Chain A
């Protein structure tokens, strides 16, 4: 499968209200800024946060115009939940890559986690990560967004010092050891899972 294209790079982060999607986007934004890129970020606010879908787009690179891209315009999809990943697939480029946390919270039904996945889950652009399971094991369930951000970081050539700078800029209640550890764990999981990287450099 071809890697996502050159700069500018568009990342779509999706998940559920309360999972920390917007914070993950802000950290990506900060890391990219520290690395010297221009950035634009687009957030979905309002009604969405009350247990609804939450998403944001982060665009990194040069000559950025639009704060968001439409169908087929996104290079990387980072999803904290399965249905949210599948919902956003129309936005992913045919050559794009989706990094998805293995968690199913079926929309509409007030049901617990489900194991059955819709047919779209077989899309070859999806790569699955056991973020929920691992963060639970580490008793850091609320650090899931940091774990998945670590997975994303493993696929971007933004040097580690810039991620450290981004994490250092967090407010004190987000700047916990658990969050840093889960970010590092996600980075390792991402590196172990594959070498597919978009061509993004800090130069």
Chain B
């Protein structure tokens, strides 16, 4: 037998590999850090139909339908995406599956790229489905394979819970053979009492679920992956997920109970472990999910109140918290060195839109995407950001509460991908409830922030095929909005004028700011802004554009712009913003050698 092939894989890539090996034929997702690369990786396996869905709820339902049809299906999403998909999640635990269904959720401790820091493990308990937590890429790959077996054996979706650290860490993975004979769906078999959740069936199914949970808890006690590692018995630590790796690093001498099925828990194994150690600690990231259940078994947990509940753990943070018997702060960089806020790319359409909005001065209910950065300096343009699709709804609420006090001064901003994800319902509500809010749709023809994924707006599929894409104007018109304008965000005067007109319009209005994301086609700029030092008066209007290519320099006795020509893409927004005519575009004379070798790109991809 030949040596097993080992590959270096991120947790995300390992999940994709595990799905491929399990014979998954349908995989769905909506992009979101830390899980975006799962579906991106899956789209490269020919036996898998990998699809970006409109949102996580749709993604879940598509995967469930495939499972009903007897295929193995996987759905992946970030933690807040599971909130969107919670409705089908809960009900699918009642229906059960046919082919296996694995639900991958990525939590984001320290909220590195998220609006909250939720612990999605509570979903397993609330929805009553089994949950597995891997500790590294190898286990992530292996657990997907085992999760499908578990799913089909117990007729239930299985939750696989990851965290950012695991998703984005690369470790070696021994890969296995794909079960390609499993790719063909076995077919749907009608079963009224199982798949049709009318009230009477729901009650019957609930009984079945409670019995299933008992059987799953018994399975947890027999399953080798919930394993006790006996070392020194003076201290025993119960842990799971990536925290297991931290514990091994921080307390190499301690005995460890590594929990891999973290719901329902293996009560007998926990009791056995607790009885044989002098001091029992439970170390887990975020909420005391395991700790509370261990204590509910009547077991004393010495570390109660010691482990941090906010922010990501590290081996050193765990060590200190246990040593000092109190939660120690998040281990970030030196706080006396200012952090770097993320910036909108040089020449992005949003620079023009936010410059115009700042000039008008309005309340803005924002949403989630690259344009959320408009909440920061120098625009400070966004007043609320809650969750995907929340902007329009909260604007309606503000308008209803404040009436004339905000009339003509209230704007909801939403991107094209977010509008299609969860903004259409609120837009219908705006029409139905006769609101007057203006909605600004930032259409850059992609899901930009997570890395330029396709969406129903641009029609591009996860596999990269071109599709028709939705016509936003017709869609919005069909919803009942009569006042719709499309602006060129690179024309400052036009953008400002149209936005003012929309705000003054008595009735709901939509402005679509349309320009493709610059990163979609990173071409060499044909022109760049240049400063005439004689004409500059140091008024600072150009800085209000907020472009990263506009740096500062001291000229005469004032601060003048210094155009960074490694970054400038020649959009001319600063040229338009300058009241003195001190900035002007200048054509670039192509230098063949330069163009051939290295082009200055706005950011690296």
Residue positions of A touching B, CB distance < 8 A: 16-20, 29, 33, 38-53, 65-73, 83, 86-91, 106-112, 118, 120, 142, 176, 178
Contact = CB atoms under 8 A, between A and B. Distances in A.
Contacts of B170: 29, 39-43, 67
B51 interface: no
B69 interface: no
Contact of A50 (B339, B551, B603): B603
B603 A52 contact: no
Contacts of B373: 50
A14 to B, nearest CB: 9
A68 B165 contact: yes
B248 A40 contact: no
B249 A53 contact: no
B317 A111 contact: no
B597 A50 contact: no
B314 interface: yes
A93 B164 CA distance: 25
A18 B603 contact: yes
B249 A17 contact: no
A107 B341 CA distance: 8
B338 A108 contact: yes
A107 B377 CA distance: 13
A67 B334 CA distance: 21
Interface size classification for chain B: 35 or more
B342 A68 contact: no
Given A66-B245, A86-B334, A110-B548, A47 B314 contact: no
Given A66-B248, A69-B249, A110-B551, 19 more contacts: A18-B601, A18-B604, A39-B172, A40-B169, A46-B34, A47-B113, A47-B449, A48-B342, A49-B604, A52-B339, A52-B342, A65-B248, A66-B242, A69-B315, A70-B317, A71-B331, A83-B338, A87-B337, A111-B551
Question: Sorted from nearest, which 7 A-B pairs have the closest CB atoms?
Answer: A70-B314, A70-B316, A46-B113, A67-B169, A87-B333, A65-B248, A51-B343
Contacts of B168: 42-45
Interface string B21-45: 0000000000001100000000000
B552 interface: yes
Interface in B337-352: 337-345
A38 B172 CA distance: 8
Interface string B293-326: 0000000000000000000001111000000000
B23 to A, nearest CB: 29
Contact of A72 (B136, B166, B242, B316): B316
B8 interface: yes
B478 interface: no
A65 B245 CA distance: 5
A42 B333 CA distance: 16
Contacts of A16: 340
Contact of A66 (B113, B172, B315): B315
Contacts, number: 158
A51 B552 contact: no
A107 to B, nearest CB: 4
A111 B550 CA distance: 9
B8 A33 contact: yes
Interface string B548-578: 1011110000000010000000000000000
A18 B337 CA distance: 20
B112 A46 contact: yes
B543 interface: yes
* B33, B370, B449, B551: residue with the most chain A Cβ atoms closer than 10 Å: B551
A56 to B, nearest CB: 9
Contacts of B49: none
Contacts of B342: 47-48, 50-52
Contacts of B198: none
Contact of B543 (A33, A72, A110): A110
B169 A41 contact: yes
Interface string B2-18: 00000010100000000
Nearest to A19: B604
B595 interface: no
Given A45-B34, A66-B248, A68-B169, A112 B562 contact: yes
A49 B339 CA distance: 13
Given A41-B169, A52-B341, A65 B249 contact: yes
Nearest to B553: A112
